[in-house]
Structure 1
């Protein structure tokens, strides 16, 4: 069958649609984990791919890379917080600190200290109440008041919000956090229960037994057992070939 001008135009349009399908997707948050896009005839190896969107509540990162995130709920004795940060830095780790607003009010110098060490700082509500049980106005205030503290102290409200007193929270809290500028809430898949003060050996064992590539580990400032456990935790991760990075690095 002879190729006419009309058939050439139809083939060109079809090719354009196929190319669009290979690269299209929903809006993706910068730094989210990426999956290779389907190559097109004109694509080059150097072209970036578009990462998929993260879930509303992020529990872990990619399981295919040898890194994980150690996340700390920011409250308690500032000396113990300083000790955790120093131990992380000595061990070559970067951590994510989800700070409680009242803690920042009491110890404002710690916001700059966290960032100065190359760590990441985020929002863990203003008073650490049970945000999932609050009405809309109270829950919104918990998020926005802590965000305002972070902006005042650092110029940024941080990328991450973690709800208080729950690993996963309610749709209402998710919507309020997104309205406040946190598209994705930070949960975790490893809970060390260090806040129950089980002792350094138990905290270390919890990470060793449960954490793997892509894990987001929940830990807490303000507990001496956590401070004592951290050097051993980092030694264990190093022997396993795992590197502790900030949550944003984990999800990049």
Structure 2
């Protein structure tokens, strides 16, 4: 089998949520402990023949309503890598929560990849329950449905190979149709875990995140992402501030904005 051309892989930090408690981050945590901040990311996988944007982040309206800090519009972070958001034609949506699918309009030419079960979940009876619908924004979901009607959504059922060196895998747990991306890079197979594991401690210590649809699926998802990656150091959690310190920026100008995930993390 021919080894595929590796992708260059990046994380772009676009937002932050501070003042969290330990119980906001881990089920069963000590309520007296301070929590770890959430960092918000979108990701880019690119090589000579194609570019994939993974998630589109939240928009300014959601940031204001939910008390999140927007450091930069996610699409502008993509542009900082030298990629025109208006020309991106492939966007992977790991799930439809407000902070992962809230800026679809910033990618006007894109087709979107989503799991069947995620779309059904986000538009079905579970959204009658305030706890389950809280991570979704109704306008984002309506916008997604409009893209379905415009033939701009590709649906997947479990596993999908988008191209050689990039596959999608449904893990569920955090939401009913959460999917992760497995990407071939110069350092091997890297898994963009998104919210399959918000922090390193979630999957490494088996500690589930409190925003969850199915705890059992979340716990099994920890095993899945570890099995898909070449090592635990090849798993990239969705919101951990450590990502920005473990990996180097693509250039001095992008320090604090983006990091390369296709190189080994710093040790220690």
Q: TM (normalized to structure 1)?
A: 0.34
Greater C-alpha radius of gyration: 1
Q: Which structure has more helix as a fraction of its residues?
A: 1
The structure that is strand-richer by fraction is: 2
